[in-house]
Structure 1
Amino acid sequence: MIKTVAKLVLKPLVKLVYRPRIEGLRNVPRKGGVILASNHLSFIDSVVIPLTAPRPISFLAKAEYWQGKGVKGRVLRSFFDAIDAVPVQRGEAHLAQVALDAALEVLNNGQAFGIYPEGTRSLDRRIYRGKTGVAWLALTAGVPVVPVALAGTDEIQPVGTRRPRIRKVTVKFGEPLDFSHLHGQARNARVRRQVTDEVMAAIQALSGQEPAEVYNEVPKAA
């Protein structure tokens, strides 16, 4: 019941308060498995994309969000359920494949899955080199990739702040990238790199961000 109410309230509320500029909704397939690959500027990105997309989008989220106690715990569980988040354990190297397997299950069920190929948020607004998990998913599941560009989300909740602000947000959905001719080549590192670079180039073309041309590293304090 709480999840249903949250879904009905969140989307119109976000649009009313933030009035996001949304472009390219027609580029998101309404049915079938699809990956939405986005640049990453803020924690709030995983809220903005599901609430502006034309269909439910699942993102991975820390399992701890579902394990809280009391009223706060119930609110968090309801919120992440409402945006179709998928709980995963984090913190160990081998769990990266566990996370990819969870994403693959979403895609194999004909659903949409959101991913940030950069791996972590950009703190300097540049766009970083993509990690090849997005390619592994696309090639294994045989689904298209829709590039997504966000702007302004880093101003809603900058790193170190607890309360969101009202700022202008833009969400651009690009034309789907079709890698069906490479389906089944997920184990080929060269092909994964090629596909990932193509996805990142499409995201960068939409966002206009300066390419960093290196991987983005998680801050040591994180």
Structure 2
Amino acid sequence: MFYWLLHRLIAGPILKSAFRLQIVGAESVPKKGAVILASNHLSVIDSIFLPLTINRHVSFLAKIEYFMGTGVKGWAMRQFFLATGMLPMDRSGGKKSEASLQKGIEVLDKGEVLGIYPEGTRSPDGRLYRGRTGIARMVLEAKQNVTVVPVVMVDTEKVMPIGESVPRLRKVAVVYGKPIDFSRYRGIKADRFLLRSITDEIMSELHALGDQQFRDVYASTVRQQLEGPRSSAAPSPSASAA
């Protein structure tokens, strides 16, 4: 109930008007069944704008640090993220990351919509980076066929650049591509080659849909390189942002 009140009656209309939100191709999203919205990731506010563009509930896998705040503020932020469809994801690897992927699969098994950023973290420089194969595992391991819809966020990094907490008022857009059907792989045992093939196909569609330059390296690697000198001197407030 809180999700729909927030997105449809309160924040939704205000944000759409204030940021002149342009929505292109939203009719590509199936009206029912399991769907993954595979989006590029330019700003922390991507997860706020994207759910405003379709009439289905969207769940997101969000970094677990968002849910670990203390005191009244931490509790309020935790409740807000949970109420708006965010699911805590532990990215430390191993069994914890495996459990996080299972949360996403549970959403798909219920025939719902899951928002995923295949790059795994925000782009450090506006370019599109190599996709992580977790999205392919979800497609293959879900109990029902999953439709993947590529989504491109446009200019959200100009509204709230990395390291800033106050958004700037300017026009943004959300552009949907054609649905991708991976049902041809149902029943095939996943290996690293198949997972990479599915992930690369999704990233290729994202690249074709937008105008970002593509780099075939992980965004997290580039961010670590860029933040290295700063992190050695003092912790950066954006160093662990997703």
| Uncovered stretches (5+) of structure 1, i.e. residues with no partner | none
Higher deviation after alignment, 112-121 or 60-69: 60-69
Q: Does 1:26 pair with 2:11?
A: no
Contact preservation (8 Å) 1:60, 1:88: yes
Q: Deviations over 1:17-54 (max 9, x none)?
A: 11211101110011111101011111111111112233
Q: Give the structure 2 partner of residue 217 of structure 1.
A: 220
- CA distance in structure 1 between the aligned counterparts of 2:4 and 2:109, rounded to whole angstroms: 24
- CA distance in structure 2 between the aligned counterparts of 1:25 and 1:204, rounded to whole angstroms: 18
Q: Deviations over 1:176-199 (max 9, x none)?
A: 100001013352221111111110
Shift of 1:57: 1.0
Q: Give the structure 1 partner of residue 210 of structure 2.
A: 207
- SS at structure 1 position matched to 2:41: coil
Across the aligned residues of Structure 1 and Structure 2, the Cα RMSD in angstroms comes to: 2.1
Shift of 1:71: 5.0
Task: From 166, 174, 177, give the equivalent of 1:174.
Answer: 177
- CA distance in structure 2 between the aligned counterparts of 1:125 and 1:4, rounded to whole angstroms: 31
Contact preservation (8 Å) 1:25, 1:54: no
- SS at structure 1 position matched to 2:181: coil
Q: Give the structure 1 partner of residue 6 of structure 2.
A: 6
- SS at structure 1 position matched to 2:44: coil
- SS at structure 1 position matched to 2:188: coil
Q: Deviations over 1:102-135 (max 9, x none)?
A: 1000000111001111111112211111111111
Tell me the TM-score normalised to structure 2 length: 0.83
- CA distance in structure 1 between the aligned counterparts of 2:65 and 2:54, rounded to whole angstroms: 26
Letter of the 1:34 counterpart: V
Aligned residues: 222
Letter of the 1:94 counterpart: K
Tell me the TM-score normalised to structure 1 length: 0.90
- SS at structure 2 position matched to 1:163: coil
Contact preservation (8 Å) 1:156, 1:165: yes
Q: Equivalences for 1:53-92 in 2 at 5 Å?
A: 53-68=54-69, 72-73=73-74, 75-92=76-93
- CA distance in structure 1 between the aligned counterparts of 2:63 and 2:205, rounded to whole angstroms: 28
- CA distance in structure 2 between the aligned counterparts of 1:41 and 1:167, rounded to whole angstroms: 15
Shift of 1:74: 5.1
Q: Deviations over 1:158-187 (max 9, x none)?
A: 111111111211101111100001013352
Contact preservation (8 Å) 1:157, 1:163: yes
Letter of the 1:46 counterpart: S
| Uncovered stretches (5+) of structure 2, i.e. residues with no partner | 225-230, 232-238
Divergent runs of 4+, >6 A? none
- CA distance in structure 1 between the aligned counterparts of 2:156 and 2:57, rounded to whole angstroms: 20
